[in-house]
Structure 1
Amino acid sequence: MNVSLRQLQLFAAIARLGSLTAAADEQAISQSAASQSFRELERQLGYKLLRKTGRSLTLTDAGQQALPKIHQVLTQLDSLAFPQADFIGGKLRVSASETIASYLMPQLLADFIASYPLVEPELSIQNSDGVIERVANGLASIGFIEGPTSSAGVSVNRWREDRLTVFCRPDAHWLSLARVPDGEWSTLPWIVRELGSGTRAVFDQAFGQRQETPRIRLALSRQEAIKQSVRAGLGIGCLSELALVDELSAGTLVELPTLLQLERTFAIVHLPKVALTPLVQRFTEFAQGWSV
């Protein structure tokens, strides 16, 4: 089998961008040359890596299995630029769910780069399902998620604890009650994260433990949109306490005490049975010992 590094780089770019044209532009080659090079890669491998779905390119089953291996090859080749065995530098591909990416990852990366200034971070923000998908497909070397997962495609390790907070606007009528009656939590108009997010998974799990179905007024993919909707009086929200520090301190939003079980564990995910590079291994160890 005669496969070139350029062909592997091209396939990785197509998988990431979802377009042969965009990948060709990124690799600074013509579209016809890229198409010919990719066809030759598939011929050498003996199976199809991509299928065309409408105007988009998607991975075949064989392509999904090959992509993490190809990323591993490219990562190992990148490490040849740093011959010292203990050298920590190069591109660090991280994927994190929104709460972690917004409120923890910037400082974590800044502290890590302060110790290892030759590291080049690349951060992708997804919901928890999206993080797992990127790690499983080899598009990220390490991921950080904020909800329970049963995915068999990745290795999951505990990282740190978190708690969701139920909140409302300061003049909400629910605050006039000593507490919301236990049987009425499911009837309140909830403004929550979308399905697939770790925050939503914990929220749904809390109501599942009570064998109740909450009344979802809005399901939104952005935390700021949820906070603004609560401020507008559309309902009550549920987000990580990390996302509400400023608002609760300023009094623009108010915590609503609840008996719902909303504790959760953030986790680090990576591919199983794949040796971590020294950079990813060091970042994992750094993250596990890091505190805000």
Structure 2
Amino acid sequence: MSLYETNKILTQWKKERPDLNQVHSQVLQNVQMRVDLAFKAYFRRVKAGENPGHPRFKGRDLYDSFTYPQYGFKLDRGRLHLSKIGDVKIVLHRPVEGTIKTLTIRRSSTGKWYACFSVEYDPSPAPQKESVVGIDVGLESFATLSNGEKIENPRFFRTDEKALAKAQRRLSNAEKGTPEQKKARKIVVHIHERIANRRLNFAHQTSRKVVDRFGRIVFEDLNIIKMEKNHHLAKIIADVAWNMFISITGNKAEEAGSRVILVNPRNTSQQWSRCGMIVAKTLSDRVHSCPHCGLVMDRDQNAAINIMRLGLQSQG
């Protein structure tokens, strides 16, 4: 059924199920919009010949958010009024700038509740920066800049891996349906959330430092999904979360008047930045001497210089 058809019969559904009247009408309409978008994406994948993955029904225990698209909420002095729910005391971690357009109430896996505002505002123009940098993301170091600076890999998952393994053993040993199993599951989820929060915070802080310094930031356009098929590296690649870092950097750059450029990663590690010759290397070769021009350089910095050069070439 189309979105138009489900919107038409929503009134009839509310007559058949009086409990739906306890939910704001726009929240109900937004649920129908989510279902419509899920099926549109499903049919698009079918036509593209991909593995489509049929949309999954979400029961009350799996439904973790609801949205007020335009009306039904009001923010006033530390309290959030939600239609059909009431006044909720909130911790506003920073002032809301601009005009609030939508509100999504989201429940985290550990039971925390968040109010996520979507706002429209005109950012103040930032001073233009002429500096440019190429960034090579990696596993030994999180990232290497073309000027030789390195950002260390925090390895968040490795730090909590033992604690997570211990919690998962307790969960697998707990009897199904008991309070002990519920408690053990909550501990596992809490550790996963802690790792994710640390990773996200690191990506935000690191991207802010890069955006504040450089006007043009060049990354490789990596196929992360394909790279994670290497079972020896999949866990490490997932832990560094390169896509998250590049995406957040792009968002901050747009607001700060900077620009993120993505380039083809082919041969950026094998080509030497001085003479342009291709010299094959394995992953274990961290420092290499070029037999053609004599250049000796850190492997990742050489790649970062090539990335910067490709970014500048793509800009003419």
Q: TM above 0.5, one fold? A: no
Structure-2-length-normalised TM-score: 0.21
Structure-1-length-normalised TM-score: 0.22
Higher RCO structure (Cα 8 Å, ≥6 apart): 1
